[in-house]
Amino acid sequence: MPSLTKDSRARSPYWICCYTSSTGQRLKKSTKQRDRKKAWEVCLAIERAEGHAKNGTLTEQTAKKIIGEIVERTTGEPLHNYKIRDWLAHWLDMKEQVRASKTTARYRQVIRDFVASLGNRADLALGHITPKDVLAYRNSIIAGSKTARTANLSVKVVSAAFNAAVRQHFIESNPATALESLPVKAEERATFTPAQVSKLIRASEGDWRGAILLGYYTGARLGDVANMRWSAVDLDQRLIGFTPSKTKKPVTIPLHQDLKRELFKKPGIGKAFLGHRRENHPPC
C-alpha cells in the first residue's frame, strides 16, 4: 500500500510517494504536487503502474492511459497525445497567427517535406521523434542538390516546431538540437552600384523601369514595390512611406528626385498603384 510523506528537512514543498516497485523494493518519488489530495492521486497511479509492470501487462498504451488520468485529475485538463504529423500541423496553425503569409508558406513547405521524409513514422506518437529522423530529412535536402544553407534553414524551421513541443511539455527534448549546422561558404553581398542600376534600367521594359528605381531608392522588396500606392507619396514633405510585408514596421524615406521624375511619367492619386498599372505589375 502506498503512502505519502514530506521531506524531513523541508528541502521540497512537494509530497513524496512511498511505494513498492515491481521488483519488490520500497521506493520514494516526488509527486510534484503541493496539494495532498492531488499528490495521493499521483501516488496511487504510480503504484498501479508498478502493479502492471510486475504482472507483465504494462504496455505503452497502458502507461499513456495511467499518465493521462493523472494529468486530468490533477490539472482538470486532458493529456494531449499528439502524433508527429498532428503536432506539426498544430504548430503551423499557431504560426499563421503571428507570422507573415509568405513566411508561413515557407514553413508549410518545409514541414510538408519533413513529414514526407518520415513516411509511416509521421503517424507515431510525438515522443518517438529522434535525431536520426531529422538527419535523414537534412540528408534528403542535400541529395536533392540543395545548398547547405538551405538545409540548415529547413532544419531550423523543424527545430522551432519541436522547441514549441518541449516548452509545452509534450516531449522532453528537441531532437533537432542534436545536429550541428552544416558548414556554409561565406558569401558577401553588396548593394548595386549606380552604374549597375543604370545598366538594369537601360535593359528594362515597361513597368520594370519604375519597379527597379522604387526598389533601389526605397530598399523595398519586389512584392512591396508591386503593391505600393500613390497614397504612400507625400509631395509636400518629399517623402515616401510604406509598411514592409515582412517586418510590418512603417518606413519613411526621402523621395529622391530621380525617382520622383520617373513616377510622374505615369501620375496617379490615392489607391492607384504607384508607377504601374496593377494588371501589368512585375511578377513577385
**Model confidence over 218-250: pLDDT tens digits?**
888 888 888 888 888 888 888 888 888 878 889
Ramachandran category for residue 238: left, alpha or beta (phi over 0 → left; psi -120 to 50 → alpha): left
How would DSSP label each residue in 130-147?
Answer: -HHHHHHHHHHHHHTT--
The highest-confidence range among 55-59, 93-97, 201-205, by mean pLDDT, is: 93-97
Q: What is the pLDDT of residue 17?
A: 92
Beta-carbon contacts of 173 under 8 Å, excluding residues fewer than 6 positions away, are 166
* Cα–Cα distance, 73 to 97 (Å, whole number): 31
Q: What is the pLDDT of residue 139?
A: 97
Average pLDDT, the chain: 85
* Cα–Cα distance, 127 to 136 (Å, whole number): 17
Handedness of CA 158, 163, 164, 169 (dihedral sign): positive
* Cα–Cα distance, 240 to 231 (Å, whole number): 9
**Model confidence over 131-172: pLDDT tens digits?**
999 999 999 999 999 999 999 999 999 999 999 999 887 888
Question: Going from the N-terminus, what domains does the chain have, and what CATH number goes with each?
Answer: 3-75 (no CATH), 84-178 (1.10.150.130), 194-280 (1.10.443.10)
Which is more confidently placed, 213 or 76? 213
Q: What are the angstrom distances between the C-alpha of 248 and each of 93, 243, 253, 275, 283?
A: 20, 6, 16, 22, 21
Which is more confidently placed, 65 or 143? 143
Q: What is the DSSP letter of 170?
A: S
Q: What is the pLDDT of residue 91?
A: 95
Q: What are the angstrom distances between the C-alpha of 238 and each of 213, 230, 263, 273?
A: 16, 13, 13, 18
* Cα–Cα distance, 279 to 284 (Å, whole number): 13
Mean pLDDT along residues 271-282: 59
Q: Exposed (0-12), middle (13-18) or buried (19+): which is 163, by Cβ within 10 Å? A: middle
Alpha helices (runs of H) in the chain, residue ranges in sequence order: 36-55, 60-75, 84-96, 101-118, 131-143, 148-167, 194-203, 208-218, 222-226, 257-263
Q: What is the DSSP letter of 34?
A: S
Q: Which residues of 246-256 are buried (b: 16+ CB within 10 A; e: fewer)?
A: eeeeeeeeebe
